[in-house]
Amino acid sequence: MNRISFIIIVCLPCVTVSSAQSSNDSLLLRSIYNEALGNGEAYSNLRHLTKDIGHRLSGSESAANAMKWGQSVMDAYGADRTWVMPVLVPSWTRGDVARSTAHIGHADIPLHVTALGGSVGTPDDQAIRGKIVMVKDVNALDTLSSSVIEGRIVLFNRPMDPVLINTGAAYGGAVDQRGNGASAAAKAGAIGALVRSMTHALDTLPHTGALRYKDAIERIPAAAISTVDASMLSHELKMHPDLEVSLQMNCEAFDDVEQGNVIGEWTGTVFPNEIITIGGHLDSWDIGEGAHDDGAGVVHTLETLRILKAIGYKPKRTLRFVLFINEENGNRGGKEYARQAGIENEQSALVHLAAMESDAGGFVPRGFRIDASDSATAIVRSWEDLFAPYNVHLFRRGGAGVDISPLKALTPRPTMLGLSPDGQRYFDFHHSSQDVFENVHKRELELGAATFAAALVMMDQHLPSPREDR
């Protein structure tokens, strides 16, 4: 036997094992997609969540109702156990008044606005009125004298960057004005703030979202203004630099209330002390139905449990299905889950091996955002050929998701994935009155659920275990 023949013979068993494993994975993924597309319940679950329960603002009765429903579905789908992890969440109401008017010469033009999440109302619920100061950057306020800003209303009018193909990156590049604008304006002496809605769409829909007041700075009312109205004000200011805007809102904050993360657990058969977490956030804003954000992620999570039970899957690791609370205005659910995970690691000898999140809408899945070590990233990217038949092809590094991000602090650090659907239309609906059930496509939602379930199975089967060599 010559040396070349020996090498071929020795390597053949390795190739055979690898090919067999790939074939098994391929058949397993096919069964997952067949179940999701042929017998899926994600769409009917989303209909119930959005139409029968409705929006789910943290601290609200509807959020509490959604928690009960989510736990009941996990029980019905066969979780070994379910529970609610208590989380103290903000309680805030938008109220029933959000009015704004542009006063241009002798004309009064109504504007489309809604309160930013957590905003204070206008003093005594009465309208404030002031001249407009328009800036495109929070830091631009530092370049203006106090006499230019005092007693006025600041309009933050930086659009999302239209040339970025990644709409999430465009959102990230503009959203600081929503989060930090009110306090920056107040520090400079302004009496109120208007923030251009975070959307590429040119429409009359205000898109809400959370603001962050800074301690020791006066809290002033802040509202999202539609892109059409923000553009109109920008144009009118060139001809009427002294134009004024009035704003009236009666939003109000209350004491925190206890709600919680809804958790379903399925015990692993080989490494039950190793945890893989998947989830989406149960809370939503209150001006729509929270269908894409994040009803889709909620039903993706529930459907993953149903699919894997239906096909007779036996998990190696313990799987946790988590419906996080309070992602939108505080991320307290994600932070508390990570805190408890750290305690489990230290006191119960558990290892939080991996986590995955769906919080980018119910559109057709394109791939995954990977937040992991180089070696774990290479493993995930080795699955590309298996996902290619389902048009899932983007395996890029980046933030995996807000709710699971606090898990980064754990040792060892979990491998984290974020489901990445096509995002070109996501911000047309995000945080707006148009985020409703009717704007979610049934087949796209089901494909997302199948892809979510398939990725969970691949992590369960192929991520290296710290105990496999013992």
CATH match for 28-92+255-462 among 3.40.50.1950, 3.40.50.300, 3.30.1360.150, 3.40.630.10: 3.40.630.10
Architecture in CATH for domain 99-250? 3-Layer(bba) Sandwich (3.50)
Q: Which residues, at least 6 apart from 225, have a Cβ–Cβ distance to it below 8 Å?
A: 100, 111, 112, 113, 155, 194, 195, 196, 197, 206, 233
Tokens representing 415 are 């491998």
List pLDDT tens digits, range 247-285: 999 999 999 999 999 999 999 999 999 999 999 999 999
Count how many residues are written for the chain. 470
**The two structure tokens encoding residue 156:** 């933050």
Tens-place pLDDT, residues 219-236: 999 999 999 999 999 999
> Pick from 229, 194, 59: which is nearest to 119 by CA?
194
Q: How far apart are CA 46 and CA 303, in angstroms?
A: 11
Distance CA 305, CA 80 (A): 11
Burial (CB count within 10 angstroms: exposed 0-12, middle 13-18, buried 19+), residue 468: exposed
Q: Write out the two tokens for 62.
A: 């509807």
Q: Are the C-beta atoms of 327 and 281 separated by less than 8 Å?
A: yes
The domain spans of the chain are: 28-92+255-462, 99-250
User: What is the band of 18 on the pLDDT scale with cuts at 50, 70, 90?
Assistant: low
Residue 167 has pLDDT above 90, yes or no: yes
The residue written with tokens 């038949």 in the block is 389
Residue 348, classed as helix, strand or coil, is coil
Residue 13: Cβ-neighbour burial (10 angstroms; 0-12, 13-18, 19+): exposed
Nearest-CA neighbor of 402 among 335, 322, 302, 304?
335
The string of pLDDT tens digits covering residues 367-418 is: 999 999 999 999 999 999 999 999 999 999 999 999 999 999 999 999 999 9
Alpha-helical segments (H) within 42-96: 42-47, 61-76
